[in-house]
Amino acid sequence: MLTTERHQLIIKTVKNDQTTSLKRLVEVTGASESTIRRDLDQLEQQGLLRRVHGGASLISSASEEPAMREKVTKSQKEKRLIARYASSMVQPGDCIFIDAGSTTFEMIPFLKQKDIIVVTNGLDHLQALTEYNIKTYVLGGLIKSRTGAVVGAGAVQNLQQYRFDHCFMGVNGITIQDGYTTPDPEEAAIKQMTLQLSRKRYILADHSKFGNVAFTKFGDIQSAAILTNYEGPEINDFANKTNIKVVTT
Partner DNA sequence: ACTTTTTTGATTGTTTTTGATTGTTTATGG
Partner DNA sequence: CCATAAACAATCAAAAACAATCAAAAAAGT
Applying CB under 8 A, which residues contact a second copy?
Answer: 2-5, 8, 19, 21, 52-55, 57, 61-62, 69, 123, 126-127, 129-131, 133, 135-143, 145, 148, 150, 152, 154-155, 157-158, 161
Whose Cβ is closer to DNA: residue 19's or residue 102's?
19
Q: Does 161 bind DNA (CB under 7 A)?
A: no
Pairwise CA distance, residues 63 & 66, whole Å: 9
Residue 42: its H or E element: helix 33-45
Nearer to DNA, 44 or 220 (CB): 44
For residue 72, the minimal CB distance to DNA (Å) is: 12
Round to whole Å and give the CA distance between 157 and 153.
6
The site partner of 6 among DNA, a second copy, none (C-beta below 5 to 8 Å per kind) is: DNA
Which CB sits closer to DNA, 17 or 220?
17
For residue 38, the minimal CB distance to DNA (Å) is 6
Given the rule CB under 7 A, which of 27-35, 119-127, 153-161, 215-223 is the region that contacts DNA? Answer: 27-35
Rounded CA separation 235/242 (Å): 10
Query: Exactly one of 15, 17, 19, 22 binds DNA (CB under 7 A); which one?
Result: 22
Is residue 151 a contact partner of residue 140, using CB atoms and an 8 Å limit?
A: no
* Of positions 9, 45, 46, 51, contacts DNA by CB under 7 A: 51
Closest CA to 24 of 16, 40, 13, 39: 13
Q: How far is CA 100 from the centre of its chain?
A: 9
Q: Which helix (H) or strand (E) holds 181?
A: strand 179-182
Q: State the nearest-atom distance from the C-beta of 20 to a second copy, in Å.
A: 8
72 binds DNA (CB under 7 A): no
Is 35 a binding residue for DNA by CB under 7 A? The answer is yes
- Sequence-ordered list of residues with C-beta below 8 angstroms from that of 144, at least 6 positions apart, any chain: 150, 151, 184, 186, 187
Minimum CB distance to a second copy smaller for 61 or for 236: 61
Binding test (CB under 7 A) with DNA, winner from 34, 61, 73, 177: 34
Helix (H) or strand (E) segment spanning residue 103: helix 102-105
Q: Answer yes or no whether residue 55 interacts with DNA by CB under 7 A.
A: yes
The alpha carbon torsion through 5, 11, 14, 16 (nearest 10 deg) reads -90
- Cα–Cα distance, 185 to 152 (Å, whole number): 9
Residue 208 beta carbon to a second copy: minimum distance, rounded to whole angstroms: 23
Per the CB < 8 A criterion, the answer to whether 195 and 220 are in contact is no
Span near DNA by CB under 7 A; candidates 16-24, 93-101, 169-177, 204-212 = 16-24
Would you count residue 59 as binding DNA (CB under 7 A)?
no
